[in-house]
């Protein structure tokens, strides 16, 4: 019997990590998504705290733990803890994990760029949960990847735990608030947000692709593992 693709997830702290086993169950074991919780100092949506969250020592510790699951690829499942390092720093994070484990690795911020390119997106709207000053770092990260942000919202939520408490209706309101006709898609950063059960609904309401942090994390993990595949319920990116 062929083993399903295994994408190991390094997930900082606790917020919306239950999104991933819920997706596993919904897909009947078509993919495996083992989660290792990496350590954090302070749960704060500030640059200082997130530079610490994404530090080399914390990621190395998580990488060593995820190795027990024999993943085909590993994702640093944190948008803000990768984009605060900028494109070069995010690439270095992924390269260090890959070198340590001898398998492909990437991160959620990189995944947003790759997913946008896969869909041919050039102009997007962003519905960010973060305070505005932190969210601007995501805008800059996208710009470096050739993606223009034509509409931008920052909800000002200070902790990942509070983001994890948002329900589907709150997420839908955030997304609808930033949608404009010239945006080819809406991007929703933050792996602390539960999104994997509502993507098809959001896309149907907007009539355009919606890319969320947890969705692109799974997609990128499968892509770099060399095992991309269509999956139901996960929007245009997976069709």
Asked if residue 147 and residue 73 are part of one domain, the reply reads no
State the Cα torsion 124-87-17-10 to the nearest 10°: 160
Reported as a single tens digit per residue, the pLDDT across 203-237 is 999 999 999 999 999 999 999 999 999 999 999 99
Contact between residue 176 and residue 115 where contact means Cβ atoms under 8 Å apart: no
Could you tell me if residue 2 is inside a domain?
no
Judge contact between 12 and 53, C-beta under 8 A.
yes
Helix (H, G, I), strand (E, B) or coil at 140: helix
Q: E strands within 155-221?
A: 186-188, 210-212
* 75 located within any domain: yes
pTM assigned to the model: 0.96
- Provide the pLDDT for residue 1: 67
Average pLDDT over residues 176-204: 96
CATH of the domain at 43: 3.40.50.12500
Who wins on pLDDT, 127 or 160? 127
**Cβ distance 194 to 14 under 8 Å?**
no
Convert the pLDDT of each residue in 138-185 to its tens digit: 999 999 999 999 999 999 999 889 898 998 899 999 999 999 999 999
Which residues constitute the domain of residue 28? 7-110+215-238
Query: Is residue 1 a part of any domain in this protein?
Result: no
Q: How confident is the model at residue 199, as a pLDDT?
A: 96
């Amino acid at each position: 019997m062929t083993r399903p693709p295994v994408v190991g997830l390094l997930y900082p702290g606790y917020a919306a990590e239950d999104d991933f086993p819920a997706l596993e169950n919904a897909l009947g074991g078509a993919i495996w998504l083992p989660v290792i919780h990496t350590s954090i100092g302070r749960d704060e949506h500030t640059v200082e705290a997130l530079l610490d969250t994404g530090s080399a020592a914390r990621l190395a510790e998580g990488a060593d733990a995820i190795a027990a699951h024999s993943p085909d690829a590993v994702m640093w499942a944190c948008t803000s803890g990768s984009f605060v390092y900028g494109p070069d720093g995010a690439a270095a994070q992924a390269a260090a994990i890959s070198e340590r484990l001898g398998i492909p690795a990437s991160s959620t911020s990189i995944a947003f760029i790759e997913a946008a390119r896969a869909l041919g997106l050039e102009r997007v709207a962003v519905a960010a949960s973060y305070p505005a000053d932190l969210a601007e770092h995501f805008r800059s990260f996208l710009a470096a990847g050739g993606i223009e942000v034509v509409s931008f919202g920052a909800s000002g939520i200070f902790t990942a735990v509070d983001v994890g408490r948002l329900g589907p209706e709150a997420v839908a309101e955030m997304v609808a608030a930033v949608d404009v006709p010239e945006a080819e898609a809406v991007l929703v950063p933050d792996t602390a947000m539960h999104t994997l059960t509502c993507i098809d609904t959001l896309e149907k309401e907007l009539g355009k692709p919606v890319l969320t942090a947890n969705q692109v994390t799974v997609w990128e993990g499968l892509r770099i593992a060399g095992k991309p595949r269509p999956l139901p319920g996960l929007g245009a990116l997976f069709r």
